[in-house]
């Protein structure tokens, strides 16, 4: 039987790695062995940071909502509790956007939360 060499497969694999590592600094974009290590690390970072991005944005939204709530005489936790009692189901992303871009609208939402809290306390 004839011997089979993996020439085309390895060339294609090398080309794929070098295409993905295009734009890296120095030999990391030109040498297969260096590029492979850099690419594996980059893909690990990308996988990890797709999850971290969700955590980071949630924290940012909470900070923005808290800032808006404190301008209206509430804390974040009181505001969120009041919204739950009032039956207002806006997620944090939308609330943060309203707090940043529409202060008057956020003030009205905060007033509804305050009213719901005072009604529950009474």
- Report yes or no on 41 lying in a domain: yes
Query: 109 lies in a domain?
Result: yes
- pTM, two decimal places: 0.78
Give yes or no for residue 122 having a pLDDT over 90. Answer: no
What pLDDT is attached to residue 2? 79
Q: What are the tens digits of pLDDT across the range 7-24? A: 889 999 999 999 999 999
pLDDT over threshold 90, residue 100: yes
Inside any domain, residue 22 = yes
Residue 67 to residue 54: CA distance in whole angstroms: 20
Instruction: State the residue range of the domain holding 67.
Output: 7-121
Domain membership of residue 2 (yes or no) is no
Compute the distance between CA of residue 79 and CA of residue 94 in angstroms, rounded to an integer. 14
Residue 43 exposed, middle or buried by CB count within 10 Å (0-12, 13-18, 19+): exposed
Residue 43 lies in a domain: yes
Distance (Å, rounded) from C-alpha 95 to C-alpha 83? 11
Listed residue (103, 108, 109) closest to 90, CA to CA = 109
Residue 34 to residue 57: CA distance in whole angstroms: 34
Residues 27, 34: contact at Cβ < 8 Å? Answer: yes
Residue 23: what pLDDT? Answer: 94
Average pLDDT, the chain: 94
The proportion of the chain whose per-residue pLDDT surpasses 90, expressed as a percent, equals 90
Residue 30, CA atoms < 13 Å, CB-side half-sphere: 3
Residue 19: per-residue pLDDT? 96
What total number of domains does the chain contain? 1
Model confidence over 55-79: pLDDT tens digits? 999 999 999 999 999 999 999 999 9
- Confirm whether 15 is domain-assigned: yes
> CATH number, domain at 83?
1.10.1900.20
């Amino acid at each position: 039987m004839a011997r089979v060499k993996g020439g085309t497969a390895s060339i294609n694999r090398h080309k794929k790695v070098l295409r993905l590592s295009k734009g890296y600094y120095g030999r990391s974009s030109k040498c297969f062995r260096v590029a492979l290590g850099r690419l594996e690390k980059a893909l690990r970072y990308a996988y990890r940071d797709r999850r971290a991005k969700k955590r980071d944005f949630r924290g940012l939204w909470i900070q923005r909502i808290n800032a808006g709530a404190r301008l209206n005489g509430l804390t974040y936790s009181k505001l969120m509790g009041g919204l739950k009692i009032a039956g207002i189901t806006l997620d944090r992303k939308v609330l943060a956007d309203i707090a940043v871009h529409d202060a008057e609208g956020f003030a009205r939402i905060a007033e509804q939360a305050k009213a719901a809290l005072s009604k529950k306390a009474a």
